[in-house]
Amino acid sequence: MSGTLILVRHGQSEWNLKNLFTGWRDVALSERGHEEAKAAGQRIKAKGLKPDVAFTSALKRAQMTNDHILDVLGLSSLEVIRDQALNERDYGDLVGLNKDDARKKWGDEQVHIWRRSYDVPPPGGESLKDTGARVWPYYIRMILPRALRGQTVLVSAHGNSLRALVMVLDGLAGDEVAKLELATGVPLIYRLNADSTVASKEILEG
């Protein structure tokens, strides 16, 4: 067995709370989101895991989540690498719209396709496939080598950037990933083999 990946979707954001499409808009965590991030840190600590490096996106909701986790672990001085390759999916023309209002305008089925399908982008935005096109190369180039050196790697990112990554790690097809929902602030623990395949997966739910 080689290294360990800890994947965490950021805690609830202010726009999650308001049921708005967020995408690349840089919004902060809600009060509940701060608590979810701290709880994620406690679950990671309870498993005895200690990251050697942390990766996060260019958006503050993921960065705040990362900071809370590291504070709980007593690792606030840990190396943190930030990159927009790990940003949330760009929702294009939907950004800032209430999801219920979008359903009224375009219909439940169309909005569901935009939100959950693999390769259908919303108007002016990215599909999950497009998101993966920036997440996967970054993972291979920057994150995986650290894990293959036996390190424990924390990745604090977003629902769709992590769905793209989990799709590959779990070997999911496009229709299978459409059903995948990642909860806010719930760590996923992947232990990797030396050949980069997954040896085990654990979800640290409350």
Residues annotated as part of the active site: 10, 88
What residue has token string 């990554």?
165
**Location of structure tokens 């299978």:** 176
Cα 82 from chain centroid? 13
First and final C-alpha spacing in the chain? 27
Burial of 123 (0-12, 13-18, 19+ CB in 10 A): exposed
DSSP-derived pairing of the beta strands 188-192 and 4-9:
antiparallel
Which H or E run contains 16?
A: helix 14-17
The one-character DSSP state at 59 is S
Q: Which are the contacts of 111, defined by CB distance < 8 A and separation ≥ 6?
A: 99, 102, 103
